[in-house]
Structure 1
């Protein structure tokens, strides 16, 4: 783990300028605009509106408008600028960020540490990751709906066409996923530059007419707002929080661009543009309180309304794309960390390893989003479901970052606790304000997260129980090799590769083959694929070869949680390290277990049945690890859980 930003020289796609650095950072910052800031960049579409027209909105009086604007400004400063940009983004797991990377970093134990904190870290990390699926459903729906709703500002005739048009746009976006985002991504960054400049221009236009709104920059206005509105003012934080949703993306996507480009883009363009737009909306409200129904689109002159709807829809699609790609990425990480069954992972770019497409996740998200749009009907109704998932994730991030600061960086409690305490106070305040929305829709992301969390923990626990059952029925490898002296088996030409998760024992498939076929190949390779709690494993550490007796060789291949294992790649590296074999004379022996729920100690019967169902529907090892299918022999066995 390193406290320094990832090396920018590791990204070769951006050409260097004469000094070899500044143009690279600028180019990466533009790219980050199209991936990192789509969610937070579309918040002006609905955030301020919900503070005044939502279920717990306040009247758009002079003091209320300045008070809400003050809360939005200081939320962006404290939550995004200070918490994420200054502190959390230092917690990089070999350059990668995100809640699972943070969980893996917190789990990297040091000598003398107690083990009791690990289950807590795992639980928090997994539940935070599960909540991101709810975010991945709600963000595309609320962003696209908010953009298309701008049409109703022009004329109420469009009212009945808003939901169908939003669904058509979303379906088109999901249909494009299988083609990859390389071509589309090339225009995302420049398009978002236009979007943020449009936000700034719209805000400045109104701000120059009512400059006194800048008084909202004083924190005293926020304090005054709470003193005047008390409990009602606290509930308005649920709307204020919508202005910082997407802040988690700065940390989650820093591995793609590096820390400096994200910081540069945030402080030079994104933050100023957002605040100018919010201030402009506030100035409009001060001039005409009736514009609270949709202050963003009413900022625009009549002639610019339709172009603004088009630009806003494009920005909303980009925000949706970022969340969809994030769902793909977090699923890949969960698979590699052993919390999700193997799923089909399609690489859509030969150059960029991070560009992946998961068909199962893609279509599940699309169905969920369509149901959300049809069920909640408007962005205002969706706003009730939005905040609770993100506030919970941000709170978990604060706790995990504190664990990393204490246990990885050795920061004293006297320093780490007050800083984390301030962030937790803000996070929990937002969480409390959003908690009242649970009955109105906030239950949805919580129920979804609980379901995903149950699936993840059931799969992990089930795999551990299965490994224990198989280990109990297995034979130590040294014992098997020792028995060959007295009773040598018949050896046949070629190489046999047995995949095993236990690098010490004998693979059950090997014992079954020996029992039923009574033969052993001249060379036997015992292959173990180990997933590390780091995002990437250096190529020189990918494959380890241990030569044993009787023609047996143990091969241990290590992959990070951002990488997909590949048998052809492993065999190529093994050959480069001196292991000789002919692929055409090599057979792969895989075990296929039929799982039977039982009353043995382990899991509840319903969880064992769930695990057995997940195992049956997981992608086969042959296709997932890219094993030549005509070289595979599967040997089955029944295992009671």
Structure 2
């Protein structure tokens, strides 16, 4: 559970510090020159009203976050999964026609890109803030080492990494920051006056208009982590049968939401407020500390320099561990978002490893893990301090928050059937605050805000290009496999002709059945081939899959048993189908079609499915005779393409090469009998086309030809 609150839990390291710095900068009318004034402590840099006003803004920002996510957004989970893609999946299941669904789809993709950018910023800013007492150079070095130590063991899974540190967050960090704030609250109880929102209003209106947005741009640091908290609830959802506690049945989808909400209301939120109140109490009593670092100013002092250094070191170690958990929260959320995006077709296929038997939402994606590591290292070296990174923070978070609110409104109206007036009453105030925070953070664009925007733009371009490219390939496959293809009835007829041949068996010479058709010869092989299909095959009027047509044309081999396997992905997290996950259709003559249904958070297992079907007697093949046939596209570009189209196709080809092959994504490793067919796809000015050598089979009467084995 500690991983959920890591991001927002470490916001106490830098939020009030940045509010204080920006307040002093605005008063001096020289943004960027205030740091020199903060090198030495002083009581005249910030007034009582400004200190209480800053805390009032933080207090009400946290209340806003609580209302939005814990009381409203978390009710919109997709079978226990949260985040923008979960909302999108709910919306796809709506029965009514959705107005503006295409634009919303683009916004959902943008939200995923922004959340990824947030995930790259959170680890460095938390760690740099924790190591700040060491000085800039040592803080950077310690952060780089910590990042490697954090990302390296991610393959163990959330439960393993969270087991090492998560308990620390809940049992040590939050009680510790609360205890640090209590003495200063007792000596300065007037800090609770900040609950009055008028302090926040007077504070904001005391600056010129631009100053209002500057202050709001740093206040948002207090609520970073709310979106990650929503995205992470699936990591704690227990899927399966409905549980019963104290005589009440609990939906498995609630099993992730309930502990997250309980811990927020009874531990996390009170501890955060106590620490922020303590920092303001320090400002009221002693003024601005050196470098405005109000968090470490709360560290207990004894008056003995050597003892005080030890206490500060312990405080810094505790903060560093908390920063680890903050980073883990975003990493965990990114794994969830990418897994959902892959299943919904928004993202290229990456290798996904499930790391928990109890919580199926806990996954590890190696490519994403190390890409985030490189991004974190880069921005650590570029920005070097938490203060510099604060300027880059916020745009990604607030952009994602606004899109989430919009998607929630769509779900409430089109999926839940809320009246439009009810949606407007609930969502308008929330999205107004979201937009206010977002506009405030746009002022940071030239001071580092461009970095998360660039990351998000790159990821959005990848996702949109992937969607476009897969759509073009689908059109080409349809034209080849359907418009100019052969039906399953044709395949069954070939099987019938082979079966009509009577074998004459020599005493010492085995024979194989061979069907000669014109200039082509079809040889039956004593193997069971499984062809992976992009669409379900349910009757004889369906068309032979592209991969099988390529196989027949190239090799002229007719398997003794054919299984056409299609993986159907639903827009729900887990397909609750019981024993009806697989639909088996006997098409005749040892040709069987299988449709396996999975949720977008489930990993299809082709071999496991075949073994299960064999054990149930639904398919009659032996596991030692399976050969699983899959196809791989070879993208070819003609010289007549316009440059912009050639560039887009080349980009898609690069993404396709980096993505995990379909057979590996479906759980078929090196130990599986997998055969791959290369399918050439040509992009030209006239369109997209699958091209193969013309090897059409011309049907004639069957002739028996003995073949020595």
TM-score by length of 1: 0.89
Residue of structure 1 aligned with 2:363, choices 343, 356, 362: 356
Q: Distance in 2 between matches of 1:276 and 1:375?
A: 34
C-alpha displacement of 1:242? 0.4
CA distances 1:137-181 after superposition (whole Å, capped 9, x unpaired): 1000100100011x24xxxxx443111111111111112223334
Q: For the structure 1 residues 117 and 569, does the alpha-carbon distance in structure 2 shift closer, same or farther, using more than 3 Å as the test?
A: farther
Q: Distance in 1 between matches of 2:22 and 2:658?
A: 43
Q: Which moved more, 1:325-334 or 1:582-591?
A: 325-334
Kindly indicate whether residue 547 of structure 2 is the aligned counterpart of residue 494 of structure 1: no
Q: How does 1:544-563 map to 2 (within 5 A)?
A: 544-563=583-602
Report what 1:20 is aligned to: none
Q: How does 1:330-409 map to 2 (within 5 A)?
A: 330-409=337-416
Kindly indicate whether residue 334 of structure 2 is the aligned counterpart of residue 296 of structure 1: no
Residue of structure 2 aligned with 1:610, choices 630, 635, 651: 651
Report what 2:494 is aligned to: 484
Kindly indicate whether residue 219 of structure 2 is the aligned counterpart of residue 240 of structure 1: yes
C-alpha displacement of 1:352? 4.3
Q: Distance in 2 between matches of 1:133 and 1:505?
A: 41
* Secondary structure of 2:393 counterpart: helix
Residue of structure 1 aligned with 2:51, choices 65, 69, 72: 65
Gaps of 5+ in 1: 1-31, 153-157
- Cα pair 2:492 2:588 within 8 Å, conserved: no
Report what 1:98 is aligned to: 83
Q: Distance in 1 between matches of 2:416 and 2:363?
A: 33
The alignment's C-alpha RMSD in Å is 2.2
* Secondary structure of 2:573 counterpart: coil
- Cα pair 2:336 2:363 within 8 Å, conserved: yes
Q: Distance in 1 between matches of 2:57 and 2:413?
A: 30
- Cα pair 1:57 1:236 within 8 Å, conserved: no
Structure exhibiting the larger radius of gyration computed from Cα positions: 2
Per residue, is there more helix in 1 or in 2? Answer: 1
Residue of structure 1 aligned with 2:464, choices 448, 457, 472: 457
Q: Which moved more, 1:122-131 or 1:592-601?
A: 592-601
C-alpha displacement of 1:520? 1.7
* Secondary structure of 2:667 counterpart: coil
Q: Distance in 2 between matches of 1:254 and 1:412?
A: 28
C-alpha displacement of 1:445? 0.9
Kindly indicate whether residue 478 of structure 2 is the aligned counterpart of residue 471 of structure 1: yes
Q: Which moved more, 1:476-485 or 1:286-295?
A: 476-485
Report what 2:677 is aligned to: 635
Q: Distance in 1 between matches of 2:381 and 2:329?
A: 22
- Cα pair 2:633 2:680 within 8 Å, conserved: yes
Report what 1:261 is aligned to: 259
- Cα pair 2:213 2:441 within 8 Å, conserved: no
Count of aligned pairs between the two proteins: 600
Report what 2:621 is aligned to: 581
- Cα pair 2:51 2:283 within 8 Å, conserved: yes
Q: For the structure 1 residues 600 and 413, does the alpha-carbon distance in structure 2 shift closer, same or farther, using more than 3 Å as the test?
A: farther
Gaps of 5+ in 2: 28-44, 237-255, 302-307, 499-514, 516-521, 537-541, 684-709
- Cα pair 2:121 2:379 within 8 Å, conserved: yes
Q: For the structure 1 residues 449 and 527, does the alpha-carbon distance in structure 2 shift closer, same or farther, using more than 3 Å as the test?
A: same
- Cα pair 1:128 1:393 within 8 Å, conserved: yes
C-alpha displacement of 1:496? 1.1
Q: For the structure 1 residues 485 and 355, does the alpha-carbon distance in structure 2 shift closer, same or farther, using more than 3 Å as the test?
A: closer
Q: Distance in 1 between matches of 2:609 and 2:110?
A: 33
C-alpha displacement of 1:606? 1.4
Residue of structure 2 aligned with 1:185, choices 150, 153, 162: 162
Q: Distance in 2 between matches of 1:511 and 1:126?
A: 35
- Cα pair 2:166 2:325 within 8 Å, conserved: no
Q: Distance in 1 between matches of 2:98 and 2:63?
A: 36
CA distances 1:42-91 after superposition (whole Å, capped 9, x unpaired): 0010011111214866652111111111111111111x211101110110
Report what 2:190 is aligned to: 212
